[in-house]
Amino acid sequence: MAKTVVVTGGAGFIGSHVVDRFLAEGWQVTILDDLSSGREENIPSAARFVRGDITTPEAAEFIRHGRFDVMCHLAAQIDVRRSVLDPVYDATRNIIGTLNLMEAVRGSGYPTRAVFSSTGGALYGDFDPPPSSESNSKDPEAPYGIAKLSIEYYLAYYGRVHGLDTVALRYGNVYGPRQDPHGEAGVVAIFCNRLLDGRALTVFGNGEQTRDYVYAGDVAGANFAAATVALPPRGRLDARAFNIGTSCETTVNALAETLCAVSKAPSPIEYAPARAGELARSALDTTKARQVLGWAPQVSLRDGLERTYRFFADRRAGQERPV
Contact 245, 284 (CB under 8 A): yes
* Among 88, 306, 79, 285, CA closest to 172: 285
| Residue 169 main-chain phi, psi, to 5 deg | -110, 120
Q: Are strands 250-251 and 210-211 parallel, antiparallel or unpaired?
A: antiparallel
DSSP string, 294-317: -----S-HHHHHHHHHHHHHHHHT
Burial class (CB in 10 A: 0-12, 13-18, 19+), 322: exposed
For this structure, is 158 an active site residue?
no
One-letter amino acid of 184: E
Q: Where are the alpha helices (DSSP H) in the chain?
A: 13-24, 57-64, 80-85, 87-91, 97-108, 121-124, 143-162, 186-197, 216-228, 252-263, 287-288, 301-316
Among the options 144, 158, 215, 309, which is catalytic? 144
Distance between terminal CA atoms of the chain? 28
| Active site residues per annotation | 144
